[in-house]
Each structure stands twice: as C-alpha cells, then as structure tokens.
Amino acid sequence: MTRRLGWFLAGGLLVALLLAGVVSNFASGSPDGLDATAREGCTFDAHGEITGGTCMLQQEQAHQLADSPLADYGIRGIDNPYLSTGLAGVLGVLVTFAIGGGVSWLVRRRSPEKV
C-alpha cells in the first residue's frame, strides 16, 4: 500500500468516526419519509400512541433483533443517550471498516487463476 493511500484511508476513517460519534447525535428525531407515510390516516396522542384511524403503522411488529445490544441506534446498558448513540456509531464504522478491509485483503491476496 502506498503512503498516499494509507493517509487517504486514515483520513477517511477519521472523518467517518467523527461523523458517527459526534454528528449522529444531531440527526433529526422526526419521522422520515417511510415513517411519515406509515402514520398517514391515524391520529396520535401526545405520547405517540395511536388513538384512532387506520394506517400501516397499526400492523407494526417488534423486530427480531429488538433485544440485541445495539438495537435502536444505541448500546444497551449505557444510560446517556448521546454517549450510547455515539459509541454505537463508532462501533458500526469500525466493524464496517474491518469487514471492508478484510474483504479487500482477501481479494488482493488471491492468486490469479491460470487460464
């Protein structure tokens, strides 16, 4: 790996870690397009519970991994929501970078097939 590529990858990893660890806490808590569409047709109380109407959200079920340690964009057991979200983002970036680096290393190390 050339020195320039190494600096580029390190810089990209640093930017991704900063975005995941810090900027992710400023993401909007408002429903995105899919959530907003799923809510159309229902009425809600102050706590976000459905009080009437008919909408797709009424068919919502618990996700199979809802009890996992990294569910809901945070880390279970960490009470500070900003720290929990930031650490989950950093962990996600590191795992993704490790998998991408591992796949890249495996592909690069493969010996060329003889034709």
Q: For 33-87, write each residue's pLDDT tens digit.
A: 888 889 999 999 999 889 999 999 898 888 888 888 888 888 999 999 999 999 9
Report the alpha-carbon distance of residue 30 to residue 28 in Å, rounded: 5
Q: Could you say which DSSP state residue 72 is in? A: G
Query: Which of 7, 13, 1 has the alpha carbon at shortest distance from 97?
Result: 13
Find the mean pLDDT for residues 10-28: 91
Label residue 109 by pLDDT band (50, 70, 90).
confident
H or E segment and range at residue 65? none
CB 94 within 8 A of CB 101: no
Burial 16-26 (b: 16+ CB within 10 A, else e): bbeebbeebee
Radius of gyration of the chain (CA): 21
Estimate to the nearest angstrom the gap between the alpha carbon of 47 and the chain centroid. 25
Choice between 40 and 109, residue whose per-residue pLDDT is larger? 40
Handedness of CA 99, 91, 22, 29 (dihedral sign): positive
